[in-house]
Structures are given as structure tokens and as C-alpha cells.
Amino acid sequence: MFLENELMYGVEFPMSDDAMSAEFVLPIGKAKIEKQGKDITLVAFSKVVATALDAAKALTSKGIDAEVINLRSLRPLDMAAITKSVMKTNHLVTVEQGWPHCGIGAEISATYHGK
């Protein structure tokens, strides 16, 4: 099942030549590092990836270097990418437009609870 945010229809963003190729296949279950950082990890998906990138830019003015992860798929969830980033930054913020419970942020938080 694929779900998409209809608010993204008509939104333009840069695409690499590889992504524009007819042979390009987006890897399911593989997150993408949209911005490298060392101080905090921001994890987002869909429309709020842009919000996370805006937040990372704003944090730069405060001397905070944020890493932004675009999940791209939620099931399977690329916990390895999140874990690798959090091991580097030691801080994690999930960004989404869903409910504060039973969402992806809650799932990620539950995974790290007690570690």
C-alpha cells in the first residue's frame, strides 16, 4: 500500500539525473540523509521533511548542526539509519503531522525507550 500527501501535488524540488532515469527504483525501507549534521537528528517523512530542513536551517543560526533523515517508507522502517545517526548526535527529534500517540514518532521513541 502506498500513501501520499495530496498537499505535495504540484510541489517542485530538485531531482538528480539518476532519479529522473526510467530505470530508477526507490529502495523501499531505506531512509535518505537529506542533510548531514553532528549535534541533533531530525527524523521526518512526506511533507514535513521540508519542515525539518527549515528547522535545521534555523538551528544553524544558533550554532546547532542538525542531521535530517527522510524516512521515505514507514514499513519497513529504516531503524538502522536512525540508530546510526543518533549514535553520532546523541539527540533525536521526530517531526510529523500526526497524533502524538500511535504515530511514527511514538514508534521510534518506544524503540529507544530504556536504551
CATH of 32-73+80-91, one of 3.20.20.210, 3.40.50.300, 3.40.50.920, 3.30.200.20: 3.40.50.920
Q: Which of 51, 43, 55, 40 is nearest to 90 (CA)?
A: 40
Quick: pLDDT tens for 42-98.
999 998 999 999 999 999 999 999 999 999 999 999 999 999 999 999 999 999 988
Domain boundaries, the chain: 32-73+80-91
Q: Longest C-alpha distance within the chain, in Å? A: 45
pLDDT at 78: 95
pLDDT at 50: 93
pLDDT band, residue 1 (cuts 50/70/90): low
Give the SS3 label for residue 32.
strand
> Any long-range contacts for 21-29 (C-beta under 8 Å, 24+ apart)?
26/72, 28/73, 28/76, 29/73, 29/75, 29/76, 29/77, 29/78
